[in-house]
């Protein structure tokens, strides 16, 4: 079984109130409440047996608490991405500095312009990776990413996105062949081989749960998804993410797990 030993998170900054939002979940984040929710998120991760590295807030980048996007960390290599959102592109520098503490120089790879890629578009399923082609991740970014992964013995295939921000906004792998799917991903042939659990439309946000060492962290306030994950046999922890949701951010966006 896969096991995560480390997690990297980054404290939300005050400027998060100016973060990118689609407006799907209205309102501006309450910074103080976001800090409390972030504390609870870190505590939940620690309960899953991982060592958590907490990076300081960076006021230059309103969305920088969503550390999943500037890097993809695997067992064999780290990939520093090239975020497609202009206001997020500079987030990679401090993430790379943190990643260097865990990976040797020759195992750190980069997506370079004109390629763009954000980690929220990457879903790891064992040694196969799915990568979403989205408004943030382009064809050239995917080409580079596949070439990097193949160098390390992984496989990777593209999934086209029509509606959501990132691939993992709507589909998440919970190991043991279990996959949560919602909306546009429900009938995608790419995911036919998995045991799919279809999330009801009114709980679509909670398709973004995270598996951490056989515990699944579920966003608070989604009873149908919580019941589904419990019925799969996982231990569950719920965490309130209301302030991050206002920026289209979910549980996976808030950490790098490796």
Positions marked active-site: 166, 253
Helix residue ranges, H only, the chain: 31-46, 92-99, 139-151, 167-170, 223-231, 242-245
Residues 6+ away with beta carbon under 8 Å from 236: 215, 216, 217, 218, 226, 229, 230
> Binding segment for ligand GLY among 145-153, 183-191, 212-220, 246-254 (CB under 6 A)?
246-254
Q: Does 19 bind ligand GLY (CB under 6 A)?
A: yes
Size of the site for ligand GLY (CB under 6 A): 10
Q: Report the residue number, 135 or 240, with the smaller CB distance to ligand GLY.
A: 135
Q: How far is the CB of 221 from ligand GLY (least distance, A)?
A: 19
> Binding segment for ligand GLY among 38-46, 109-117, 226-234, 241-249 (CB under 6 A)?
241-249
85 half-sphere exposure, CB direction, 13 A CA radius? 22
Q: Report the residue number, 69 or 175, with the smaller CB distance to ligand GLY.
A: 69
Residue holding tokens 């966006």? 253
DSSP 86: G
Instruction: Give residue 185's Cα distance to chain centre.
Output: 16
In this chain, which of 15, 52, 85, 198 binds ligand GLY, going by CB under 6 A?
85
- Could you list the residues that contact ligand GLY (CB under 6 A)? 19-21, 63, 66, 85, 88, 247-249
């Amino acid at each position: 079984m896969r096991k995560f030993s480390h997690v990297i998170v980054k404290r939300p900054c005050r400027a998060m109130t100016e973060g990118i939002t689609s407006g799907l979940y209205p309102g501006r984040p309450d910074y103080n409440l976001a800090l409390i929710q972030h504390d609870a998120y870190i505590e939940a991760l620690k309960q899953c047996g991982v060592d958590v590295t907490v990076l300081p807030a960076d006021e230059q980048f309103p969305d920088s608490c969503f550390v999943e996007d500037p890097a993809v960390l695997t067992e064999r290599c780290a990939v520093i991405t090239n975020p497609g959102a202009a206001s997020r592109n500079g987030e990679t520098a401090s993430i790379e500095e943190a990643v260097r503490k865990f990976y040797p120089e020759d195992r750190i790879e980069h997506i370079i312009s004109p390629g763009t890629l954000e980690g929220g578009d990457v879903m790891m399923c064992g040694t196969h990776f799915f990568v979403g082609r989205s408004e943030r991740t382009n064809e050239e970014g995917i080409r580079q990413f596949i070439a990097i992964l193949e160098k390390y013995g992984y496989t990777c295939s593209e999934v086209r996105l029509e509606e959501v921000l990132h691939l993992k906004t709507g589909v998440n792998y919970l190991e043991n062949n279990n996959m949560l799917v919602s909306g546009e991903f429900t009938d995608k042939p790419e995911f036919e081989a998995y045991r799919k659990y279809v999330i009801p439309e009114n709980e679509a946000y909670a398709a973004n749960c995270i598996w951490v060492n056989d515990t699944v962290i579920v966003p608070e306030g989604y009873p149908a998804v919580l019941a589904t994950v419990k019925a799969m046999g996982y231990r569950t922890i719920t965490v309130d993410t209301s302030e991050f949701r206002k920026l289209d951010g979910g549980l996976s966006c808030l950490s790098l797990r490796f």
